[in-house]
Amino acid sequence: MSAYRNFIDISDLTASEFTGILADAARMKARRGTPAATVDKPLAGKKIAMVFEQPSMRTRMSFDVGIRELGGEPLMITGREIELGERESIADTARVMSRYVDAIMIRMLNHDQLKELATYATVPVINGLTKRSHPCQVAADILTFEERIGPLEGRTVAWTGDSNNVLTSWVHAATKIPFRFRIATPAELAPNPALIAAARGQGADIELTTDPAAAVKGADSVITDCWVSMGDKDEGRRQNLLRRYQVDEALMAKAADKAIFMHCLPATRGEEVTDAVMDGPQSAVFDEAENRLHAQKAVLAWVFGAKVA
């Protein structure tokens, strides 16, 4: 049996593993910058590859800083410079990288290729976003929700907009933590029925609608994301379909009084969200971005089986 774990999807973890990562993240965040933080060095002597096939600011910086804070050394590689998946097979890339580094964090659109990489790697692989999912983001989102609102269990979360990778990871989270998840998308961009059926089969409380107002009514958090994700080709069609899913002050007013607004960023202000909401009192987006760092430090410790005191 291998002595490490991969972090590819929240759906791969047990509920207690996932909530354990969130609890570790909160503990590490609380002692960051204090003398007590010296206990958080599970990556001492370890080198971690950060491989990016697509652009990134938050994922790149938060992993780089997090790896250093945990005592490790990051190595940044772009997919372009190694011609990922072109110059040699993904399997051979995985085998070779495993001889150099102690873990691989990778962003690549093709989820099946990321899984293939994990199959042939002999070190932990962490999903830094694929076209299918963005689990590190949703770990940070839930950390943010729980800091601002309290335990997610029993609360209501509303998603409005496209059904994309971030949404998929939220659906996976809904199978681990019992909360109500209302999803509003245009019918043409509805989530994959198999994803929703599988999640409901595992007890997730998910409501689908095409009406953003119905989704956000009384919700504790309103979440959206860009209308055009990396790799999407039908920009004009998406903008037309998604126009009425914008989060503006009128939509936020339908949520609970203390509801927070979340967005993984980068945001296209004026499309999926207005400036007034992004910069308004309910916006948690910059805490969310910061929490990528804390959540990922907990993920990095977890893949090596390190205990966070």
Residue 239 interacts with ligand CP (CB under 6 A)?
A: no
Q: Which is nearer to ligand NVA, 214 or 265 (CB)?
A: 265
Q: Tell which residue, 140, 203, 149, has the closest CA to residue 172.
A: 203
User: Can residue 296 be called a binding residue for ligand CP (CB under 6 A)?
Assistant: no
Residues that bind ligand NVA (rule: CB under 6 A) add up to a total of 9
Q: Which does 225 bind (CB under 5 to 8 A by kind): ligand CP, ligand NVA, none?
A: ligand NVA
Report d(CA 206, CA 293) in Å as an integer: 28
Q: How far apart are CA 75 and CA 73, in angstroms?
A: 7
283 is an interface residue for ligand CP by CB under 6 A: no
> In the complex, what is the shortest distance from the CB of residue 306 to ligand NVA, in angstroms, rounded to a whole number?
27
For helices 111-120 and 90-100, give the axis angle rounded to 10 degrees.
50
Answer yes or no whether residue 76 interacts with ligand CP by CB under 6 A: no
CA distances from 97 to 177, 186, 302 (A): 35, 42, 20
Size of the site for ligand CP (CB under 6 A): 9
Residue 57 sits in the site that holds ligand CP (CB under 6 A):
yes
Shortest Å, Cβ 140 to ligand CP: 8
**H or E segment to which residue 47 belongs:** strand 47-52
User: Which one-letter DSSP state was computed for residue 151?
Assistant: -
165 interacts with, out of ligand CP, ligand NVA, none, CB within 5 to 8 A per kind: ligand NVA
Q: Could you tell me the CA-to-CA distances from 140 to 25, 75, 299 in Å, in that order? A: 9, 23, 11
Active-site annotation, residues: 107, 134, 137, 225, 264, 292
Contact footprint for ligand NVA (CB under 6 A): 129, 164-166, 225-226, 229-230, 264
